[in-house]
Structure 1
Amino acid sequence: MHMNTKSRLLQIVCAIAMVGALSACARNTTDISTNTPSVNQTTSSTEVNAVNTKTFQPEELPDLLLQGKLEMVHGQFDSQFQQKVSLKDMEQLSAFHEGVKSYSLQSTMKINGFSKYVWTEPSGAKGIQAIFNSDGRISGLLLLPLESFPETDAKKSVTTFALPFHGDWFTFWGGTNVLVNYHYEHPSQRYAYDFVQQKNGSSYEGDATKLSSYYAFGQPILASAPGKVIELKNQIPDNEPVGTMNEKEPSGNYVVIDHGNGEYSMYAHLKKGSVKVKVGDQVQTGDLLGLCGNSGNSSEPHLHFQVSNGVDLFQSESIRVQFRKSEDYIQGTTIKAP
């Protein structure tokens, strides 16, 4: 994530004590990414600073920061994060909240043992992101000035899109700020989504290194609107063990559909050999395109879906998707597709 010089001070608390377990396409310096905490990175309550006996609920964090109760907040950091960020560091960040009277919750997400919360102040110019582990301890904290793009936010695709799958899926990245949608800072991917499947707060069951453990792997991916297939790739291996990535083929296996009106949809990270369409095929809404995979610059099986205004989706601009049955899908939203 890129930060301007005005937010340099905030980098003190950007050392989020977690690692990425979902990272999607990237070309040069432009990322299509999904990041989730490592399932192996947990902190036992016995590791927490023993002097901190009073704990608070995640929902209380913004008010505690506004009230300047930094010692209480710092006391609930897990041991790793306390080593990275001192109370003195926290005190230097008090100026971030100047002029802010309140923060409102924008997104909550529970996956693989961690809970992520995002709050923004009313104008949307500042945001807070906090990661809590299974013991309720803070594993990461990010205070960030937020840039918005109201002109393009307000414009949606002419084409109306159905969901590109059946069943229950989870929105890992989606929304109109970088705290809920990592893609948002990049014009070519601003309104992209990353979708996974999960059960009981986890995207897999069993051995986390095996593709077969992930609920999304091998699930059907469908055309979201009528159009013509104009580009695809089908022979990129799926990354296994899970966690390894193929940066040379950022999108992995994918399908691009031309819907007319200068709008093109992309379905990325498909399973090797699973693509069922050919360039030149006319497809209808709901037609099978391929299977969800883990190919390309992806460290966990998921679908990257976006709509753009050009054929080369990395050089074109992302378009906000007009869905049939929802205004938008925000990070943390569970989707029940027919």
Structure 2
Amino acid sequence: MIKRWLSVAVLSGMSFLTQAYCIDDWACFEKIKRGKTIEYWLSNNKPYPITSTLDVDTRNLKSENSIKNTYSETRVLHALARVKILTLSAIDANRSVSNHESFYWTPGIKNAKHNDSYRYALPYAKNQSFRVVQGFNGGYSHQGASRYAVDFAMPIGTPIHAAREGQVIDLQENHRRGGAHRRYAKYANFVTLLHEDGTTGEYYHLQHKGVAVALGDHVQRGQLLGYSGNTGFSSLPHLHFAVYFAKSHGKYQSVPITFNTNSNK
């Protein structure tokens, strides 16, 4: 998954001002300033749930309930939601106030409870078989957030099928670059499916123009999603597949899954 965040520093001084900061035309925070009082809002511009966090480092500002140097608010925002999360006002009206915001988000629902009884289809055609080159706890790159990912080595252009039914909430197919270094991670082509339990299925390293579905599509288990490639942080042509739940601060965590090895569909 691609971590998304934004850091903004602003010194207050206008009597009334509304500012909005957005990432990927999807997740936004707004700051409405009235003198030395500031309101913060979070919004979701898409019809898919996200988990957003806003951290605000302050000087001479207090909330309605407390006085802190840093305020941290995380919310799950459902389709097209907009919510006020924080109001700050000056502690001493005769002193200047300052604020520095850091904004994070990730698709999906915070701490979604995975349906552990679900048995996933293998993410390729029923009559094919591919070697697992890195599994759970793989020493090369399957640690931390991707601890429970599985990498299947396969030729570029291999059809990739949905391991579980879900809705397409994010995708990328415009990149051409890839290599065995994390600096290439941002160039991965991928498809993300939202599952009914709030987790997301991630299909990574697809080939350029190798996505066969559209945003918003509801796909069935076994349906064609696209074609494998070697884009992003990838040392050989393969498919990276994992199931994640969202956490605060743009973070996410993979969960252990079980494949139905008796049948791909």
Whole-Å separation in 2 of the counterparts to 1:313 and 1:218 = 35
1:160 to partner: Cα distance = 2.5
Q: Which residue of 2 aligns with 1:236?
A: 175
Q: Would the aligned equivalents of 1:251 and 1:268 in 2 still touch at CA under 8 Å?
A: no
- Is 1:163 the counterpart of 2:99? The answer is no
For 2:209, the aligned partner's letter is G
Distance change in 2, residues 1:297/1:312 (3 Å): farther
- Is 1:303 the counterpart of 2:242? The answer is no
Q: Which residue of 2 aligns with 1:185?
A: 143
Q: Which residue of 2 aligns with 1:149?
A: none
Unpaired stretches in structure 1, ≥5 consecutive residues: 1-24, 29-154, 198-215, 327-335
RMSD of aligned alpha carbons = 3.2
1:182 to partner: Cα distance = 3.9
- Is 1:270 the counterpart of 2:227? The answer is no
Q: Deviations over 1:99-121 (max 9, x none)?
A: xxxxxxxxxxxxxxxxxxxxxxx
1:262 to partner: Cα distance = 2.1
Q: Which residue of 2 aligns with 1:195?
A: 152
Distance change in 2, residues 1:246/1:191 (3 Å): closer
Q: Which residue of 2 aligns with 1:223?
A: 162
Distance change in 2, residues 1:320/1:259 (3 Å): same
Alignment of 1:1-150 (within 5 A): none
1:322 to partner: Cα distance = 2.2
Q: Would the aligned equivalents of 1:253 and 1:269 in 2 still touch at CA under 8 Å?
A: yes
Q: Would the aligned equivalents of 1:159 and 1:259 in 2 still touch at CA under 8 Å?
A: no
Whole-Å separation in 1 of the counterparts to 2:220 and 2:167 = 9
Whole-Å separation in 1 of the counterparts to 2:250 and 2:187 = 10
Paired residues, number: 154
1:27 to partner: Cα distance = 6.9
SS at match of 2:164: coil
Q: Would the aligned equivalents of 1:234 and 1:274 in 2 still touch at CA under 8 Å?
A: yes
Structure with the bigger percentage of strand? 2
Q: Would the aligned equivalents of 1:246 and 1:295 in 2 still touch at CA under 8 Å?
A: no
For 1:192, the aligned partner's letter is A
Distance change in 2, residues 1:310/1:291 (3 Å): same
For 1:247, the aligned partner's letter is R
Provide TM-score, normalisation by structure 1: 0.40
Q: Identity of paired residues, percent? A: 32
1:311 to partner: Cα distance = 8.6
For 2:152, the aligned partner's letter is F
Q: Deviations over 1:16-43 (max 9, x none)?
A: xxxxxxxxx8979xxxxxxxxxxxxxxx
Q: 1:260 aligns with which of 196, 202, 222?
A: 196
Q: Would the aligned equivalents of 1:156 and 1:322 in 2 still touch at CA under 8 Å?
A: no
Q: Deviations over 1:239-286 (max 9, x none)?
A: 4xxx56672544600001011212211000000101011111000011
Q: Would the aligned equivalents of 1:264 and 1:311 in 2 still touch at CA under 8 Å?
A: no
For 1:299, the aligned partner's letter is S
SS at match of 2:205: strand
Provide TM-score, normalisation by structure 2: 0.51
